[in-house]
Amino acid sequence: MYYKRCTIINLNYKEENLTKKIFYLFFFACLTSIQADTFHNINGFFGERATGMGGAYTAISDDPSGGYYNPAGLAYAYDNAISLSASNYTSGKKSYENVLGPGQSYGREFRNYIPNFFGLVKEIESGARIGFSILNPVNDNFLRNDQIQLPIYYPSVSSIKNYNRESNNIINVGFSYAKSIISGKLALGASLYYMQDTATLSSSGLVQFKDKTFITQTLSDSRFTRGLIPVLGVMFTPTDTLSFGASFRRYIVTSENRLINTFFIDSTGGTTENILFVEGTHKANGGSIGDTIFRGPAYTGRIPEVNEARAGFAFFPNKQFVGSFDVIYTSGYTYKKNNTEIFLSEGTILLTLTDNQDLELKRYATTNFAFGLEYFITEYFAIRAGTFTNFANTKDQSWLTSAAIAANSTLAGDSERIYSDANTTINYRLPVLRDNPRNEHVNTTGYSLGFSFSTAKASLGINLIKEYGRGNAKLDSDRANQPLIYDSSTIYVVVSSKTN
């Protein structure tokens, strides 16, 4: 999971005019950047039945996708060997309302095609099966160019131009094992996935002001993260018509790498004080502003190491009908690091202290729900439907609270001086006033509809997913929250073969 840090460094000790101009570039760079969705914990579905039933699959999981949802369910796979592959096409839009001025909204559209799943399961002995699966929940490549003329809320600006190229990819590869015990009524299973999460971004921006001055910036950002995802599962079937399932997974980062560099020029002033250079990694971060040298907090190359627990039940009243319900809990996550900033210039030192939270990795716990139905109209044709929630893992903030914070930041600044002498100044930045890259909060609801045609040897499924929600985003630290609308549609095509 990946989100670009929108503010490279705090420059409040410099001229206020320069600080505001720097904000324009990073503000609109954030707007035009399309990233893998880190604001929600449910990102995509895997497998024909699970997708059509809205992800309510923990108490079923009897096909290769069970390695992800609940590996214990593989013990009840109907066939000795099943292979399954799936692809999806996604299109969606985030609409930030009244960002540039009254009625001047800004939209981010995204479209991508993802071969998102391949898996197989095979019986190795009576009641025991092994599985193999490859999950590719994110495989995005974006090229976006934007030109904005005369934004109402920024009256000194004539035009803003941004050019962004971005690539995001997440791949998980793993093996599964499941075995039924106690006369087949209880099954245990486990999966272990290798995870590789990569992201790259390059952008350039130009802000032209009405007084003929300008600022320009280039940015390059790349991240590479490896890790493991162990999954444990249990399935209990007390009767032929009822089953209960539960699974637990954890994300474990084993290695990280991050490299960011940016170059910034402001045409006003005519001195090197208006030239900024930054280069940072997951170990250190530093650069220069004219003759001033600074060192800041390292960038993160990690992803949040959250835990996820699923529990559900399924009801099979007859061979034609299945109903299922899931509860999905994802834990919060906090990561600590040193966020101290040091500026050295002509024998003087500016030290800025704040809390030790890594805001890019901060997550709040969520509890989501999924409900699905399956009905075989004929022996070979089935229809599936489902609904699910996808709550934001960010902190919700009322408009009034965000307005109060913005007013305080505008009038008093984001830092308070706690010590000063001829050579040294120490400031403390209030945590609530720190620039937060996780600046969106949208709770969404989704719906699924699927159709499947199957024979004894193969099946073909088509599933439609629609997800929608309204929330808020804080793109400008000097203003209150803006309304945000999230709307996406996905088509999944799934093909599987079976061997008895």
Cα–Cα nearest to 11, from 415, 281, 403: 415
Banded pLDDT at 8 (limits 50, 70, 90): very low
Mean pLDDT to the nearest integer, 129-137: 92
In the predicted structure, residue 138 carries a pLDDT above the cut 50: yes
1 within domain boundaries: no
Residues 6+ apart with CB under 8 A from 497: 82, 83, 84, 457, 458
Which pLDDT value is given to residue 376?
95
Name the pTM for this structure: 0.88
Q: How confident is the model at residue 10 (pLDDT cuts 50, 70, 90)?
A: very low
Can you name the residues that pair with 352 across neighbouring β-strands?
341, 427
Task: Name the 3-class secondary structure at 83.
Answer: strand
How do residues 205-219 score in pLDDT, each as one tens digit? 888 888 888 888 898
- Taking residues 247-259, report their average pLDDT: 96
Q: Which residue has the higher pLDDT, 408 or 382?
A: 382
Low-confidence winner among 177-181, 333-337, 371-375, 482-486 (lowest mean pLDDT) = 482-486
* Per-residue pLDDT at 143 exceeds 90: no
Q: Which residues of 122-144 are buried (b: 16+ CB within 10 A; e: fewer)?
A: beeeeebbbbbbbbbbbbbebeb
Q: Given pLDDT bands bounded at 50, 70 and 90, which one contains residue 101?
A: low
Whether 6 is in a domain gets the answer no
Does residue 394 surpass a pLDDT of 70?
yes
Residue 7 located in a structural domain: no
Going by DSSP bridges, is the β-strand pair 307-315/482-499 parallel, antiparallel, or unpaired? unpaired
Is residue 148 domain-resident? yes
> pLDDT tier at 256 (50, 70, 90 boundaries)?
very high
In this structure, what DSSP letter does residue 51 have? H
Which of 59-63, 141-145, 316-320 comes out lowest in average pLDDT? 141-145
By the 8 A CB rule, do 173 and 166 touch?
Answer: no
DSSP state of 47: S
224 belongs to a structural domain: yes
What is the model's pLDDT at position 108?
67
* 3 located within any domain: no
- Residue 23 clears pLDDT 80, i.e. is over it: no
pLDDT tens-digit profile of 226-237?
999 999 999 999
pLDDT, residue 75, reads 94
In a domain, 10, yes or no: no
- Does 27 have pLDDT greater than 60? no
- Type of residue found at 394: T
Q: How confident is the model at residue 24 (pLDDT cuts 50, 70, 90)?
A: low
CB 277 within 8 A of CB 296: no
Separation of alpha carbons 187 and 175, rounded Å: 17
Instruction: Name the least confident of 20-29, 285-294, 476-485.
Output: 20-29
pLDDT at position 264, please? 84
Q: Is residue 120 assigned to a domain?
A: yes
Rounded percentage of the chain residues whose pLDDT exceeds 90: 44
d(CA 197, CA 306): 15
**Residue 100 is part of which domain span?**
16-499
**Tens-digit pLDDT profile for residues 279-304:** 889 998 888 887 888 898 999 999 99
**Which residue has tokens 């880190």?**
38
Q: Chain-wide mean pLDDT for the chain?
A: 85
Run of H or E residues at 26: helix 16-32
3-state secondary structure of 202: strand
What mean pLDDT comes out for the span 376-392?
Answer: 95
Looking at the predicted structure, is the pLDDT value of residue 11 above 70?
no
Q: How many domains does the chain have?
A: 1
Residue 465 · residue 472 · CB < 8 Å:
no
**Residue 170 sits in a domain of what CATH number?**
2.40.160.60
Residues 410-429 have pLDDT tens digits of 666 677 889 888 889 999 98
Tokens representing 349 are 């030192």
Digit-coded pLDDT (tens) for 68-93 = 999 999 999 877 667 677 777 777 77
